[in-house]
């Protein structure tokens, strides 16, 4: 199966490269470089989970079309290997460690969240005159003071926890979790469909304004439930006793594919809305995932391991950008891009000045002119797992007391051959950089979690 997906990925990449080379090289400068921005983020969607990334079993025609009409990144990475850390980095444009959110915000940590002293992309875009909305998963704090409406979003409908029942909207711990702003307002419907429908309404309502729309989907995170599945969780229920946390369906793989496909259908509705309102040429749509797929459901093919690890499967994920007549179609981009790069990109496109303390870099030149990004070292850390990427090299440290492993991702993208013994100087250099980075990001952490 992995082999099939890999083969299919190779054929797809080959086709896109050939088709891409046939495209015209000239692309007119955009008339209006202040686009509306829509950022759609899937949850736990692995590198091999979309058809345009080589999965032969799932059907994602709308995302495939965005990739064919825009740019598909092959070396995009989530900042975190789990949900909350990636969201903290995405929202602030900084390594999540600086914000104090390097862990998953669970229901037991209700008093923790993304600090209000942090500036989010929503706050920056709001000050550039954009209307800001978020529909979907927050996962950066339960307490009303951490609510998205206090972090720069003018409109919010969705859930605060890591996941909810797709039908009853009850979180993993048995709490009802569906909000309009900072008020609990229950709503009927399948989570993915409600998120899409609120996003479409937001676009229609604000079609005359510049808008920033953030759509963090729940799909395809567990519980594995389709449109016709019954609700499993009830308010006050006990996980494991009253309901299986990951859902009561027998075939998780089939439900997972359905969840990806329903999300894709939602992407199609959003694009259709933009076209109907003639906003498509002045809207940048970005799609990405927040971390790799889990170890047993979903696919990170062809990469090693899964969510929660610093191997490529934990954080190298799909990312697509679409902006008709500005981004050239059928591009496959191999730049190393991270979640934290979207904040400076948005502000840059909005004509604002990028805050100096961001770690991310703007992709404006890449989107508008196909420019390369500056050379930089990039870092991942989750619990005791750490990694540094420096060009084609990657150093992985699984525990402080263990020797780190060194891989050449160009020759060995699947991280199978540890080259640390034959490159001791490089190991030492990268270890030092990793240590310096850790010292730097941790000294500036303001919040006091854990
Ligand atoms: Ca996730």
Q: Tell me what pLDDT residue 25 has.
A: 42
Strand partners, 77: 316, 338
Rounded to two decimals, the pTM is: 0.92
Q: How far is the CA of 159 from the centre of ligand 1 (A)?
A: 14
What pLDDT does residue 410 have? 98
Over residues 265-283, the mean pLDDT reads: 98
3-state class (DSSP) for residue 146: helix
CA–centroid distance, residue 379 to ligand 1 (Å):
18
Q: How far is the CA of 172 from the centre of ligand 1 (A)?
A: 14
- The pair phi, psi for residue 132, each rounded to 5°, is -120, 135
Please give the distance, rounded to the nearest whole angstrom, from the Cα atom of residue 316 to the centre of ligand 1: 13
Distance CA 3, CA 227 (A): 31
- Ligand 1 centre from 125 Cα, in Å? 25
How does residue 24 score in pLDDT terms, banded at 50, 70 and 90? very low
Residue 321: strand pairing partners: 71, 286
Q: Which residue has the tokens 């934290």?
A: 340
Question: What is the DSSP code string of 184-235?
Answer: E----S-HHHHHHHHHHHHHHHTTTS-EEEEEE--TTSSS---TTSPP---T
How far is the centre of ligand 1, averaged over its atoms, from the C-alpha of 44 (Å)?
4
Concatenating the DSSP letter of every residue in 71-130 gives EEESSEE-SSSSHHHHHHHHHHSS-HHHHT--S---GGGTT-BS-TTSPPHHHHHHHTT-
Q: Ligand 1 centre and the CA of 28: distance in Å?
A: 37
As residues whose CB is below 5 A from the ion ligand 1, the structure lists 43-44, 83, 290-291
Find the 164 Cα to ligand 1 centroid distance in Å: 13
Distance 9 CA to ligand 1 centre (A): 23
292 alpha carbon – ligand 1 mean position (Å): 7
What are the tens digits of pLDDT across the range 118-148? Answer: 999 999 999 999 999 999 999 999 999 999 9
| Cα 440 to middle of ligand 1, angstroms | 26
Decide if pLDDT at 238 tops 60.
yes
Spacing, Cα 344 to ligand 1 middle (Å): 22
CA of 299 to the centre of ligand 1 (A): 14
Q: At residue 356, does pLDDT exceed 90?
A: yes
pLDDT category, 33, cuts 50, 70, 90?
A: confident
* CA-wise closest residue to 52 among 398, 320, 412: 320
10 pLDDT more than 80: no
- State in Å: Cα 291 to ligand 1 middle: 5
- Asked whether residue 27 carries a pLDDT value surpassing 70, the answer given is no
What integer best gives the mean pLDDT of the chain? 93
Q: Angle of helix 83-92 relative to helix 342-349, nearest 10 degrees?
A: 30
pLDDT band of 275, cuts 50, 70, 90: very high
Q: What is the 426 CA–ligand 1 centroid distance (Å)?
A: 32
Distance of alpha carbon 282 from its chain centroid, rounded?
22
Distance 43 CA to ligand 1 centre (A): 4
């Amino acid at each position: 199966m992995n082999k099939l997906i890999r083969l299919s990925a190779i054929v797809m990449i080959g086709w896109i490269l050939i088709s891409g080379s046939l495209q015209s090289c000239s692309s007119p400068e955009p008339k209006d470089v202040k686009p509306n921005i829509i950022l759609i983020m899937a949850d736990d969607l692995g590198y091999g989970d979309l058809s345009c990334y080589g999965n032969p079993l799932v059907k994602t025609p709308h995302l495939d079309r965005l990739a064919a009409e825009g740019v598909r990144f092959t070396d995009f990475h989530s900042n975190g290997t789990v949900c909350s850390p990636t969201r903290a980095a995405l929202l602030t444009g900084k390594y999540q460690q600086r914000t104090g959110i390097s862990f998953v915000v669970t229901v037991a940590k209700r008093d923790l969240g993304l600090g209000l002293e942090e500036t989010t992309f929503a706050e920056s875009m709001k000050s550039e005159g954009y209307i800001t909305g978020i529909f979907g998963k927050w996962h950066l704090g339960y307490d009303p003071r951490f609510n998205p409406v206090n972090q720069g979003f003018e409109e919010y409908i969705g859930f605060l926890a890591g996941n909810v029942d797709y039908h009853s909207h009850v979180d993993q711990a048995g709490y009802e979790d569906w909000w309009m702003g900072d008020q609990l307002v229950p709503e009927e419907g399948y989570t993915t469909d409600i998120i899409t429908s609120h996003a479409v309404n937001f676009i229609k309502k604000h079609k005359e304004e510049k808008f920033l729309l953030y759509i963090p989907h729940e799909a395809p995170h567990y519980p594995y439930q389709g449109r016709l599945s019954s609700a499993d969780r009830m308010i006050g229920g006990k996980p494991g006793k009253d309901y299986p946390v990951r859902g009561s369906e027998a075939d998780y793989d089939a439900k997972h594919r359905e969840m990806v496909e329903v999300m894709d259908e939602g992407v199609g509705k959003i694009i259709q809305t933009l076209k109907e309102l003639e906003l498509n040429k002045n809207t940048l749509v970005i799609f990405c995932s927040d971390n790799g797929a889990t170890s047993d459901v979903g696919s990170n093919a062809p990469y090693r391991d899964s969510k929660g690890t610093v191997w490529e499967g934990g954080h190298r994920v799909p990312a697509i950008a679409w902006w008709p007549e500005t981004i050239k179609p059928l591009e496959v981009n191999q730049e190393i891009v991270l979640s934290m790069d979207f904040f400076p990109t948005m502000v840059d496109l909005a004509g604002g000045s990028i805050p100096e303390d961001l770690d991310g870099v703007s992709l404006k030149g890449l989107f508008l002119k196909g420019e390369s990004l500056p050379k930089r070292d990039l870092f991942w850390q989750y619990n005791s797992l750490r990694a540094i990427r420096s060009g084609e090299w990657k150093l992985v440290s699984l525990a402080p007391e263990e020797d780190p492993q060194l891989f050449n991702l160009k020759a060995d993208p699947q991280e199978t051959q540890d080259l640390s013994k034959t490159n001791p100087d490089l190991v030492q250099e990268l270890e030092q950089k990793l240590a310096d980075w850790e010292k730097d990001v941790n000294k500036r952490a303001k919040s006091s979690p854990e």
